[in-house]
Structure formats: structure tokens, C-alpha cells
Structure 1
Amino acid sequence: MGLDEVVEHRAEVLRREDGDAPDVITGMFLIHDVPFIALIDIGSTHSYVACTVSEILGIQFELTDREMSVVSPLGHSVRVNKLFRDVPLEVQGVVFLANLMELPFGEFDFILGMYWLVKHRTNLDCAAKRMVLRTSRDEEVIVIGEQRDYLSTVISALRAEKLVRKGCEAFLAYVSTSDTKDLSARDVRTVNEFSDIFPEELPGLPPNREVEFGIELLQGTALVSVEPYRMAPKELVELKAQIQELLDRGFIRPSVSPWGAPVLFVKKKYGSMCMCIDYRQLNKMMIKNKYPLPIIDDLFDQLRGAAIFSKIDLRLGVKEANIYKTAFRTRYGHYEFLVMPFGLTNALAAFMDMMNLVFQPYLDGFVVVFIDDILVYSRTKEEHDSHLRIVLQILREKQLYAKFSKCEFWLKEMTFLGHVVSAERIRVDPRKFEVVLDWKQPKSVYKILSFLGLAGITDYLLRGVPFVWADKQQESFEKLKKILTEAPILIQPKARKEFIVYCNASHTGLWCVLMQKGKYASRQLRPHEVNYRTHNLELVAVVFALKIWRHYLYKEKLIVYTDHKSLKYLITQKELNLRQRRWIELLKDYDCSIEYHPGKANVVADALSRKVVSDLRAMFARLSLFKDGSLLAELHVKPTWVDQIKEKQMLDQPLVSRFQQVKKGETEELRLNSEGVLCFRGRVCVPRASKLRQSILQEVHSSPYAMHPGLKRKVTDFVSKCLTCQQVKAEHQLPSGLLQPVKIPLWK
């Protein structure tokens, strides 16, 4: 009997407070990742969705031929005719489809009736408040309903505040660790002698600095005056309190400046509100300070050999030169800053300039500075004690203050600038990957686009491909997440130890490897380099390596290995073209020698050159490109064709018997080569593995260097399905030319 033929039946709608009754089961389901509460109602034949929920779902509905009369528990008859078909109810990653009628009720989001329960072969356990659903594959999915000990309702903070005002009793619960105590500066070795550097609040205005922060504007700039933004009552309360606090500490003062910027609030990590000044209009008119920020890779290069680290996070505060331009407007008055506020475009550059001047004698010795972060590094504990005292004494003399809760001392492994630094290695902070690892299975094309946008590989998308998600797609999804989160681990180069460079070139790109522990780089050929001869291409690879690793190789002894033997005699070569002469001048700047290394032995650089560059981009999409277009990546070595063939040969029964014949000396045509691979008359025997054979055909197309039974038939079949071969068919016959009329014979 169809839905449109039903005239009347009863729907049992309970209150949410009755969810703890022993014969009532509720469950939480997801629709497009949004949680909803459903009532399991065995007294209802059909399933329903509340009107308030159907409006926010945005799902298409259809009208039934006949209206359905539904009788509520109060005896009221309600007519419904809206049907939502195949609504995806998700629980534990499994989707169950449901047909829902729209019904006005407000205690639950859904009512799931007997038709839906029977369809999914549901078993109910009222005592345990549990139901078991079965999928089409006969897999069980268990849904646990709300228990008496659980919170039945979650309310907002505003609702809770209203209830407290009405006299409702409220309890505040939190979790704390009782066996530990909060550390202070007095509890840390060496730091306890400089506790005045870590005050709870800044003591007042800072002294005059070597670098004064100024606001210089472009010529012809008009003053900036923007009306205050409207705020919510809670924000106004917070605004008034923070303005009073800044006034009490002497950081701001009342202003009569014609300038004025609006104020807004930003929520901090722990829920508190931070007052920010919207200086966007002022920033557009300021002359930008071009003071260079340090390159992060250069900072990490200074940490070689360090084993103990301390990090100090400073509080920003620099006296202003153009105070009236920092004015901001609020409902409670007009004020201006006496210290450097957040949000001004040149603030960080000015602070970086000041920090470099303060720590100039110790930079790259045992101090690394990046804006307001100071990293002190040492080889031994004795050295670290001395270094830490020097840094803290400078901070005391310059009246620079730090926030102790954000500082770390005497650690062997520390997080700094998004990386985890230790004596052995430098790796990306794993917390950076949490958003990728926790990404749920995409349920729509939009969700896939969001994930690929995060990965930075949207250039590889195709139009018109239907959305299908099966085991194959899930496997690729998990593999991509793993690749994106396997960030390269940097090993610091050791000083005064010889470097080795392996180079290789092909007609698609240049590849080189820097060795102490190993570092890889590659880039595609530029348009004009495609026309270079092999000799020049191999030389370009050497020059490319020396340029990108100049900061490591300059004034260091190194050996360059190449698989092009003629480069070994490049320095003594008599005739050189202009391009080669220019490159030799570059080589003279380095203490290097070029040695020949056969291609078979040059496995690492050769593996890079055999790898398609587009594949590297897909695998390491999060890594940045150099300005010259080169791509820096860590190579994950995978089994070669020989290793894969050898592995599959041992699983192919006919070839296993051939192995036994070779070992017994019963055949002369079959032999094992130097790598232990079975060969027929010198050619590799490819086992009967369809994926392996298909991969080899795609790699070599119709190469004669591999052999397996039915090779010609396989190649013919492969070529017949090759789109390029079908589109490009060269004619081997002369053109027939234009049609000519037949000559009429002359009658005598």
C-alpha cells in the first residue's frame, strides 16, 4: 500500500524529557554532517520529519496524490502531504535512506516508524536503549540511545545565563590534573634569577628604543576617519572594561585627533575577547617598510649540532612616533595609543629591526630571532646556562618583557616556527596535519573540492565526472591523506664535512641530489633548454645544483658525480662555446671536482629523472617552489621494475617450475641474471600479473626488452586501444589527386 493511499493512522509523539523512559529509544543521526535526534516509535507506521528541521535541510520534496490524516496523542488530526524521499540518515559512517513526511512537532527532529524499522531489519532492546540496524551487506550497525545518566539537553550560554537569573541552580564542572602544579619563573633553573622579566602585566610605557616605530604616509593622502561599528550588548561591556584597563596601564589616552579607526572584537583561543583596531584604511596609505624578515630555512641551518633549546616569547610594546594617527573611535570616547598597537602594516618589520639590533653580537652564535620569538640553542648544559643568562640579562637591560606561560626552557625537543626541532632532526609540527588526518569521508562533490583545495591540487580535476564513492575511492582518499602528512624531515648539514652532488638530466627535466644525509631537487626544462644537446643538458644539471645549494656548497669541498663521462674533462677541454665558458666561470667559484658515475650506479638521481615531474607535484603538493621554478622534495624510494618482477615471478607457478629447471641445469634457454631474475634468451620473463603487465606496456608501449607469452597479441591489443595511435594514422600511399574527366574518343 503506497503512501498516497493511506488515509489515517496514529503518530506517537513524546516529549524529549520522556527520553529516559524504559520503553523509549532515541538515536542520533547525521544528515550532511549535521546531528539530529530521532525518536524510535513502534506505534507509528510511517516516519516523519519536524517542520523546523525540513526547512533547514534544503532537500527537495514531493506532494502526495492524497493528503494523509495523522492523529496526534492529544487527539488532534493533522493533514500532511509533503514527502521527502531517500533522506540520508548517517550513523557510524553508514547511510540508511528514509522516506519522511513533514509533520508539525517540536520535541524531536525525526520520528522513525515501523516501515523504516522493518526495511532495515531492526532489533530493539528497550532495557539497554539500543537498536541494531542491518545494511544491505548484512552488516550490523549498533545505535545506543540516550541513557538516564547522560545530559538530555544541550543549551547555549545565553540560555544558561537566563536560567541562572531566574534562580535555577547551576554547577560549574571542569577537569584538572591534581598531581601537577603550575610552574612559575621561580621554578626554572637560571630563569629564577630573572623573574622580573616575566611580569603578570606590563609595568608601563617602554623606554625610548634604538628603533622608533613611525607612520609615514604617501603624498597627497587624506586623513582616515571611519564611524564606529555597531556592537552587541556583551561586546559593549567588554569594550568598556578593556578601554579602562588600557587607560589604567597608561597605554592609551583621550584624543582630539581628526583621525579615527573603528574597533572590533576577535575571539581568542580560550574564549576571551580581544579588542582589535581596524586599521585597514590606514594601512593602504602607509609607505611599506621593506625591512626583510629572515628566511626560516636559514634560521634552521644555524641549529646544527645544538642539543638543548629554550624559547622566549616577548610581549610587543614600542613607543609611537605618530601618536595621533593611531586614534580609534568608540561609543565611550576617542582615544589614541602611546604604544604600538596590533594591526599596523609596518609593526612587525619595525620590531624585527629592533630585535636584530639588540641581539646583533649573538645572532647565529646561540640566538635565533624571528619577530617576537627568541630561540636560544646550545650544545651542552653548561653552555646553555651561560647563553640563557646573556639573553635574559639583555632583556632586563632593554626592559623587554616576556609571557612565561608561552616560554619553554631546557628542552631537548621544541616546537619553533611550525617545526619540531631536536638534535637529530627538524620535522614539521604534527599538529599542522590534524585537520587533514581528521578529515571525514566526503559525502558530496563539494566536500571533495574542499579537501582538494586544502591539498592544493585542484588543477587535476575533470569536469562531468559523476560522484561515486566506493572502496577504491576511500583507499585513494586515505592514501592521499597519508602522502600529504608525510612531511620531509630535514637533517642539518655538518660543518667541514665533504659534500657530494649527484646530477642527471633528461629531455623533460633536471635532477640532482645533495649528499651528506641526502637532499633532492628537480625542475622541468625551460623552453629554450629543450633544444640543448646531451652534453649541455648534463652540464645544466650541474649548474642547477650549484646554484640552488650555493648556501651549503660555497667555500666547501665537494665532489660532483654525473653519468655523462665527457663532463669529467670539461675543465681541460680546449674548445668551448660561449654558454659553456659562462658556466665554467661559475664552477670556478666552488672547490669542486667532477667525477664519472655510471647511470646504473647513480640510482638516486636516475630515479628522480625517471619520475614524472607532475607526479612529484601531486605527491608533494604542500611543498613550495623556488623562484626559478625548481621543486624541492624528499624522494620516497619505491621498488623498481626488477624488484616487482622478481617478486611476482616467485608467485607464478609455471615460472617457479622453470626456476627449478634452471637450478638443476635442465635448460639452456632460461637463466637467472645477476639480480636473480628469470630470463629467456637474455630477456626478462614477465609473470602472469595483469596489473604488472599493463604497467609495463604503458611504460614501454612496444619495447623489445621484455618478454612474456602472448607478447605480440598483448601489444597489438594495447595499441588498438591507444587513443593517440588511433588519432594519428600516417598515410603510406601517394595521394590519388583530383578527379579528371574521361577523354571523349574522336570518331574517324
Structure 2
Amino acid sequence: MDNFSAAAHVDSDMEIMSLTNESQFLLFFRAQPCENPLEKRSAIQGKPFQGWAMIDSGASSIFISEKIVQDFQLFKKKLDKPRRLKVIDGREIDSGRVEHYCSINLKIFDHEEEVDAYVVNVGNHDIVLGMSWLKRHNPAIDWDKRSLVFSSRYCSEHCLNISPIVKSGEPDLEIAATSELPAKYSEFAKIFTEEEISPLPPHRPYDCEITLKPDAVPRHGPIYSLGPREDEELRKTVTKQLEAGLIRPSKSPMASPVIFVKKKNGTLRMCIDYRKLNDMTVKNVYPLPRSNDLIEKLRGAKIFSKFDLKWGYNLVRIKEGDEWKTAFKTRYGLFEYLVMPFGLTNAPATFQHFMNDVFRDILDIYVIIYLDDILVFSKNKEDHERHVREVLLRLQKHNLYCNLAKCFFGVEEIDYLGLIVSPEGIRVDPAKVVKAIDWSVPSKVVQVQEFVGFCNFYRTFIKDYSNIAAPLFKLTRKNHPWEWTEECAAAFEQLKEALRSAPVLIIPDISKQFFLECDASDFATGAILSQFSEDNQLHPVAFLSKAMTPAERNYDIYHKELLAIVKALKCQDPVVSLLCCP
């Protein structure tokens, strides 16, 4: 821990940041103020907080944002003598002199320590970890992979350092994934098999049926050209699937081509291009659950376990007699699937139907399921062990298997469907925030559509989303000429910042009172739905927004304000609907 009151600090200047981004990257952190026995705490003081720490070798020390200090009422200690603050080329910056510092417990991944940080305006960053921190810990940094390893003697003696490898942008909950099954669940070890390929499952009432339209004509396409790496993966995959009995040689009059997609770890996955088959298939309209409906069921949960089903769709058989429709052609021959492959139009509906029936009597009580992602939630540890056991028993009974490396057991925070869920509420996944921050400036309409689509998923976290994104919406209109204006650039950066600083949304309690605040601009209406939480503070449940039609933009200000109320109450959000239909 730094000794900021020492006289040695008085005369030296500090440097705050590099001139380029080459020496920087972001890490997600959690922190809590160190105890201050002399000051009576408010409801906010002493609470944990979280944000983004920028590791910057161009900064001389550790700095914390003035905004963080104010928002969380951190106790500031006065320096013996103020210090000057400069950028790396020696120029003093607007932040001027530094007069205070804060003591906090800083946690990055499972690396935890007590640090002192100078209170300054550090722009968009919450904390800056500079050279004094880097020299003390001397982490091994891989700038290409954006990761660092804590292995110094100082770390082993002074820091809690359970897992020394930290990657940029990854939340510390990743350590909860385990390569070992907890001893209390050892009787279910068979579920967490290490086999690379699934066994042939039995026929069930949920077999995937492929019903062709009356006018369907069997088609077959060409074999796509493959590179050496793809060709080798094709040979291995076909051989393994033949040996496991998942595919068999075919004489089908129709066939689809093979394609390869790259997985997150860089390896290749063989897929089949079933677009022609899907066009002639009668659609199964069994519904998939809405993510916000699932998350709403987690209200009051304190502890979570997550199970990732291994082999996914391959755990379901193709209905007997329909196998020929799944045929695919390769240089090694014509084959057809006996199990449900990825790419079939009815695969998601078939699989969700299967999972819902397996867990039907406990769905939304202590289990929610989206396809192959199973989340168990409970209010206490005793109930949770019982709930997990029941889920594992059902997986075992139905010959369903899990990928242990992607499972979590009894954690207080979990990522689910792109969100981080905890007893405090829900927030944006830090890994997704990093993706947004690193998003390149669009150069064509399709890239704008991709960015807007990404942000749209998190729109309930962004105040005045429709108003902010209006220039980008305009750019994606049909027949609108491409022009990346300053207005578009400002909206692009503002959405990035909104995601970076997105608040934690509480999961609402429908038995408590709601507060709805509405507003309108020239282009959009907006609203904030809030509720008092356990800390007796008003917290947001969701941010609502809607772009105005051309006619609505002509309303006078009074009618626009009224329109904001009407649109908020007509919102399709299930929680808001309770305000109108209690």
C-alpha cells in the first residue's frame, strides 16, 4: 500500500496518461472503501462499487475518478502538500493540482489488495493503474492477447491471488467456472463426461421431425471448396461421427453442402448449409422464451449455478424416416444425420420443447432454461444444494450431459444471456462493453446496422436510447444516402459511453410500488421505470425509449410530453404492462 502522506511525494510532479493507446488496456474491477472509523456512514458509504480500470504504463501512479469518489461518497484524505498533474509531454492539464487521495480495497479477477489512489478527473476511466502499480507487481503482460499474469514475490506476500491470470475485459466471476466437480455432487460425475463426441441418444417423443411443404422438390447443391485446414477437420469430424453412429452413409436424392465456422478458441466447427432444406420445411412455431421474461424470474435470488449442455442439439434424434432429408455431401461421400445437427430451422424449437418438458414442474420456480443454458437460482445455500441435485437427477435420467469447464456451482454472480446477474440486479456483461468500446467506426450501412443491433439488445440500460441513436437510425433508412456526419460520430461515441457507464438495473418486485418518469425530445420519447430497493434508495428497473413518427415530431411540447406517458404505458415490456393491468 502506498504511503501518500510521506514527504517524498511532495516535490515530484505526476504524469497522468500516455499520448497513445499502445500502452493501455482495460480491466474490469470491483472495489470497496477501506474503513473510516471517524465518519458516520450514509446508506451509500461503504458500499462496494465496480467499473473499469485502465492499465497505462504512461501514467506515473494510481488515480481514481472524481466522479466515482462523489457518487459513492468515498472518504478523501488530504495530502500533506498538493501536487501538480501533467501529461507525458510535461504540459499541465485542466485537472490542475491534486490535493486528495482515497484508500480502497481493489479486486481484479481474484487478485485483491489495498491501494491508495489520487483523486483526479481521469476522463472516461474510473481508475488508472500506472507505473507505481506496475513496478510493484511487475506483472507479465501480453499486449497482443490483452492479458497479464501476477507472479511477483510482492503479490504472493501482500495480495490475495487465487488465480494469477487476468484478461482484459473479463469479469472476475469467470473464476467460478471449474475443472473439478464439487465433492457433494460427485455421484453425478457421469453427467460431466470428458468424451469429445456424444453417444447416439435414444428415440424420444421429442425427435426432430422434418415435414416438407407439399410443393417441395428435393435439391442438391455443389461441394464448397475447402482449404487444407478445413479439409483435415472435415476428414476428422466425418470419421468420428461415423464411428459414434451419429451419421451414416446415405442414398438421399437431396444433399446440402458443408461449411466451417471459426469458434471463439480459433478451432473450426463443421456445419451444414441447410438453407435450401429450410426453405422447403414447414416451420415449428414452438416459442423460445424472451430473455427479459426469464431474468424477471430471478428476483430475490442470492445464489446461482449454471449448466452448459454438452453437444447441444446432438442430444436429440432425427425422427425415424426423416434422416435422408439431412443428407450432406463431401469429397468423402454422401452422409445423413441420425441426430439433430446445427442449422436446421426447427432445431431451436424442438430442443426448447424437449427441455421445457424435462423441467416443466420446476420451471421459473428455481430453474430457467434457454435452449442448452440451464440456470438454477435460490435464496439460500441450503435450498440451492437441493435444487441443484434435482436438476442433476433429471439430466441423468434423460441422458443429458454437461461441459464441466463451462459450468458454475453456487456463485453469487453469473453471466446469463449476455447479462451479469447478481443479488443486486443485472448489468451489462463487461466483455460486451469491451467489444463496444473497441468497435471500429462504421464505413457502410451494414456496419451501422450491426452496431445498432448490438446496442438495441442493451437499450433498457441506456437512458434516452432512441434519442441518442436517432442519427444512426436515419442512416439505415432505405434509399438514404451514406454520409457519416459529425452527428453520427457523436451518437456512435455517446452509445459507447452509455454502455460503458450503464447502471445496474434491479429486478423488480411486483408487490412494491413503481415510479415512472417520462420525458420527450424533438425526436423521441423516453421514460425511467424505478423502484425502491432494500437499501431504501430509488433504483432504475429499465430505461424505455421510442422514436417519434414524422407526424408526432410536429406535436407541440405539451402533446409530446403527454405522448411520452402514453408510449411508456403502451411499452411491450412485461413489467411496465403491470402498471396498466395490475
1:217-242 Cα deviation digits (max 9, x unpaired): 11111102223223334433332222
SS in 1 for 2:271: strand
1:357-506 matches, cutoff 5 A: 357-438=357-438, 446=443, 454=451, 457-458=471-472, 481-502=496-517
The residue type paired with residue 500 of structure 1 is F
Alignment pair present for 1:219 and 2:220: no
Candidates 272, 279, 284, aligned match of 1:284: 279
Identify if the C-alpha distance between structure 1 residues 213 and 448 changes in structure 2 by more than 3 Å, giving closer, same or farther.
closer
Paired residues of 2:317 and 2:339 also in contact (CA < 8 A): yes
The residue type paired with residue 333 of structure 2 is G
1:585-664 matches, cutoff 5 A: 589-590=581-582
Alpha-carbon distance in 1 for matches of 2:329, 2:268: 18
Identify if the C-alpha distance between structure 1 residues 480 and 338 changes in structure 2 by more than 3 Å, giving closer, same or farther.
closer
Following superposition, the deviation at residue 403 of structure 1 comes to 1.2
Alpha-carbon distance in 2 for matches of 1:500, 1:254: 63
Alpha-carbon distance in 1 for matches of 2:449, 2:260: 32
Paired residues of 2:263 and 2:269 also in contact (CA < 8 A): yes
Residue 353 of structure 1: aligned partner: 353
Following superposition, the deviation at residue 414 of structure 1 comes to 0.9
Residue 704 of structure 1: aligned partner: none
Identify if the C-alpha distance between structure 1 residues 370 and 477 changes in structure 2 by more than 3 Å, giving closer, same or farther.
closer
1:256-302 Cα deviation digits (max 9, x unpaired): 22221122222333232222112121111111222211111111111
Identify if the C-alpha distance between structure 1 residues 188 and 504 changes in structure 2 by more than 3 Å, giving closer, same or farther.
same
Following superposition, the deviation at residue 504 of structure 1 comes to 6.5
Residue 201 of structure 2: aligned partner: 206
Alpha-carbon distance in 1 for matches of 2:568, 2:472: 30
Alpha-carbon distance in 2 for matches of 1:298, 1:199: 32
Paired residues in the alignment total 384
Paired residues of 2:472 and 2:491 also in contact (CA < 8 A): no
Identify if the C-alpha distance between structure 1 residues 327 and 490 changes in structure 2 by more than 3 Å, giving closer, same or farther.
same
When the two structures are superposed, what TM-score results if normalisation uses the length of structure 1?
0.45
Residue 318 of structure 1: aligned partner: 316
Residue 250 of structure 2: aligned partner: 255
Alpha-carbon distance in 2 for matches of 1:446, 1:535: 39
Following superposition, the deviation at residue 192 of structure 1 comes to 2.0
Residue 76 of structure 1: aligned partner: none
Candidates 244, 269, 272, aligned match of 1:274: 269
Residue 548 of structure 1: aligned partner: 571
Identify if the C-alpha distance between structure 1 residues 531 and 431 changes in structure 2 by more than 3 Å, giving closer, same or farther.
closer
Candidates 188, 194, 205, aligned match of 2:188: 194
Alpha-carbon distance in 2 for matches of 1:505, 1:420: 30
Residue 335 of structure 2: aligned partner: 335
Alignment pair present for 1:302 and 2:300: no
In terms of fraction of residues, the more strand-rich structure is 2
1:418-451 Cα deviation digits (max 9, x unpaired): 11111102011111122332357x7xx9499967
Alpha-carbon distance in 1 for matches of 2:483, 2:567: 40
Paired residues of 1:318 and 1:340 also in contact (CA < 8 A): yes
SS in 2 for 1:409: strand
The residue type paired with residue 285 of structure 1 is M
Residue 649 of structure 1: aligned partner: none
Alpha-carbon distance in 1 for matches of 2:217, 2:425: 52
> Which of the pair has more CA radius of gyration?
1
Alpha-carbon distance in 2 for matches of 1:541, 1:267: 45
Alpha-carbon distance in 1 for matches of 2:562, 2:330: 66
The residue type paired with residue 197 of structure 1 is I
Residue 171 of structure 1: aligned partner: none
1:93-136 Cα deviation digits (max 9, x unpaired): xxxxxxxxxxxxxxxxxxxxxxxxxxxxxxxxxxxxxxxxxx9x
Alpha-carbon distance in 2 for matches of 1:536, 1:179: 58
Identify if the C-alpha distance between structure 1 residues 196 and 257 changes in structure 2 by more than 3 Å, giving closer, same or farther.
same
The residue type paired with residue 530 of structure 2 is M
Following superposition, the deviation at residue 387 of structure 1 comes to 0.5
1:572-583 matches, cutoff 5 A: none
Alpha-carbon distance in 2 for matches of 1:376, 1:409: 9
When the two structures are superposed, what TM-score results if normalisation uses the length of structure 2?
0.57
Identify if the C-alpha distance between structure 1 residues 525 and 417 changes in structure 2 by more than 3 Å, giving closer, same or farther.
closer
Alpha-carbon distance in 1 for matches of 2:199, 2:446: 50
1:304-344 Cα deviation digits (max 9, x unpaired): 11111111111322110110111111111221111001111
Q: Which moved more, 1:270-279 or 1:388-397?
A: 270-279
Unpaired stretches in structure 1, ≥5 consecutive residues: 1-32, 34-91, 93-134, 138-174, 559-586, 591-748
SS in 1 for 2:570: helix
SS in 2 for 1:382: helix
Following superposition, the deviation at residue 400 of structure 1 comes to 1.0
SS in 1 for 2:342: coil
Alpha-carbon distance in 2 for matches of 1:353, 1:482: 39
CA RMSD in angstroms comes to 4.4
Paired residues of 2:296 and 2:507 also in contact (CA < 8 A): yes
Alpha-carbon distance in 1 for matches of 2:209, 2:436: 42
Q: Which has the higher contact order (CA 8 A, sep 6+)?
A: 2
Identify if the C-alpha distance between structure 1 residues 520 and 335 changes in structure 2 by more than 3 Å, giving closer, same or farther.
closer
Alignment pair present for 1:232 and 2:227: yes
Alpha-carbon distance in 1 for matches of 2:510, 2:304: 20
The residue type paired with residue 195 of structure 1 is A
Residue 154 of structure 1: aligned partner: none
Paired residues of 1:190 and 1:389 also in contact (CA < 8 A): no
Alpha-carbon distance in 2 for matches of 1:528, 1:417: 37
Following superposition, the deviation at residue 514 of structure 1 comes to 2.9
Q: Which moved more, 1:336-345 or 1:186-195?
A: 186-195
Candidates 526, 529, 552, aligned match of 1:514: 529
Alpha-carbon distance in 1 for matches of 2:562, 2:276: 52
Alpha-carbon distance in 1 for matches of 2:236, 2:446: 44
SS in 2 for 1:548: coil
1:368-415 Cα deviation digits (max 9, x unpaired): 100110000111111110100010000011111111112111111111
The residue type paired with residue 515 of structure 1 is S
Residue 67 of structure 2: aligned partner: none
Unpaired stretches in structure 2, ≥5 consecutive residues: 1-21, 23-56, 58-88, 92-148, 152-160, 165-174, 453-468, 532-538
SS in 2 for 1:391: helix
Alpha-carbon distance in 1 for matches of 2:268, 2:491: 42
SS in 2 for 1:274: strand
